[in-house]
Amino acid sequence: MKFLVHTYGCQMNVRDSEAVEAMLLAAGHEKAAGEDDADLVIVNSCTVRQKAEEKAVGKAGNLIAAGKVVGLMGCAVKRMGEDVFKRLPRLHFAVGPRAFGLIPRIVAEGRYPRLELAEDLVPGCLSAHVEGGWQAYVTVLLGCDNRCSYCIVPDVRGHEYSRPAREVVAEVGALARRGVREVCLLGQSVLRYGVRNQAWEDGWRGEAFPRLLRALSEIDGIERIRFTSAHPKGCTDELIRVYRDCPKVCRHLHLPVQSGSDRVLAEMGRRYTRAEYLAAVAKLRAFDPEFAVTTDVIVGYPGETEADFEETRSLMEEAGFDNAFVFKYSPRPGTRSAALPDDVPTAEKERRNQVLLDDQEKRGQRRNEALVGSVREVLVEGPSKRNERRWSGRDGGNRIVVWERAGSERAGDFAKIRIVGAHPQTLIGEMA
């Protein structure tokens, strides 16, 4: 059967989709060239905001209408449960975020409709990777136990579960042998690795995640190690020591702040204050002034006043974020904040969103200009979409660097690029 997987949402979903592809390929199926060519299309859904869910469900609906065998997987399936077949009456199958390992069997049996919301993982499903390429995502922590008031993730992705360190080290070793040079470790709050369940089998009582970074740094062939997402509570002295000791660990942290107002942070249940958050950023930048810090922010949380919003604005300036993703609050069924009136009008959410994006544009420009003249170690990704002669890659801080191709570069290699120009989200360089 020829199949295609469409992915919505975060890196977790990108990773789960890759695992599904790898399992279907191993079962003898073939990847379709495009939608027209596909017999089976799987849509991996997100439900973090209502719009995200609508996009995935809408896509699945269109594919059903086009006569494909359609499966829906991921977060929206878990949120809807059996109602998924009310929204999509002719959907063939639906699997929750931890049940994707069942897809090859479901497809082989061909008994539809089918709904699988099982919490237990099919053995091996987390380590299935598609061959080729030099970058890979590796899931290390599943689920989330933080229970922020606005967030549906704990309901759909379940309790935190840290994969055994032994398994992660073996997986990254296997990837390295296949030519992978950069790994990105995934978890909703990845610094909580090994907190809820023991990750190291030798009874290790120290910090489990920094130890994992040290172990992965030892693997030959792996040149860069990234991870996402982080929480300021995880920015410990030991993590800083790892950055110091392990040059393969990239000096970039995605540290979602959500708000700069202590009142809103407390209502959200974020478990840090504005000052604590800023102290974590200061610690990273004291260690390395070029340390890249990126973030997520929500505007228009219930009861967010103009003064709260201004606190967010000033926090973003103080933190000097290298990049920021701004989201308009969207109430999600079953979350604590869904019980509160969604009282910031849409137009006002839109305005706040735009103000933060404009601020970030200026800040990004300023921060990138400060790097002009420096030489960055860039991992080459390939030609840019618009101009074949321009190549792009990323530096350790995850900054996009674009340069005129010299000719000798190859995707997956390191190149030294001198920065000669700056845009808010891109550095312009030349081969050094």
Q: Which residues bind ligand 5AD (CB under 6 A)?
A: 48-49, 150-151, 256, 258, 296, 298, 327, 329-330, 332
CB of 425 to ligand SF4, least distance (A): 21
- Site string (40-59) toward ligand SF4, x via CB under 6 A: ------xxx-----------
Chain residue at closest Cβ approach to ligand 5AD: 296
Cα separation of 420 and 371, whole Å? 9
| Diameter of the chain measured on Cα atoms | 62
Binds 75, which of ligand 5AD, ligand SF4, none (CB < 5 to 8 A, cut-off by type)? ligand SF4
Binds 258, which of ligand 5AD, ligand SF4, none (CB < 5 to 8 A, cut-off by type)? ligand 5AD
Stretch near ligand SF4 under the rule CB under 6 A, chosen from 10-18, 61-69, 178-186, 307-315? 10-18
3-state class of 285 per DSSP?
Answer: helix
- Residue 250, interface with ligand SF4 (CB under 6 A)? no
3-state class of 121 per DSSP?
Answer: coil
Q: Which listed residue (75, 140, 356, 427) binds ligand SF4 by CB under 6 A?
A: 75
Instruction: Of 364, 295, 306, 299, give the one whose Cα is nearest residue 328.
Output: 299
Q: Are 379 and 414 in contact (CB under 8 A)?
A: yes
- Residue 13, interface with ligand SF4 (CB under 6 A)? yes
Instruction: Of 276, 259, 258, 363, give the one whose Cα is nearest residue 320.
Output: 363
How many CB atoms neighbour CB 179 within 10 A?
Answer: 13
CB of 151 to ligand 5AD, least distance (A): 5
CB of 126 to ligand 5AD, least distance (A): 21
List binders of ligand SF4 among 134-193 (CB under 6 A).
153, 157
> Listing from the earlier edge strand, what are the strands of the sheet with 30-31?
30-31, 2-7, 40-45, 69-74, 93-95, 114-116
Any idea what DSSP says for residue 44? E
Instruction: Of 345, 346, 296, give the one whose Cα is nearest residue 325.
Output: 296
CB closer to ligand 5AD, 171 vs 322: 322
CB closer to ligand SF4, 47 vs 398: 47
User: Residues for the chain: how many in total?
Assistant: 432
Positions that interact with ligand SF4 (CB under 6 A): 9-10, 12-13, 46-48, 74-75, 153, 157
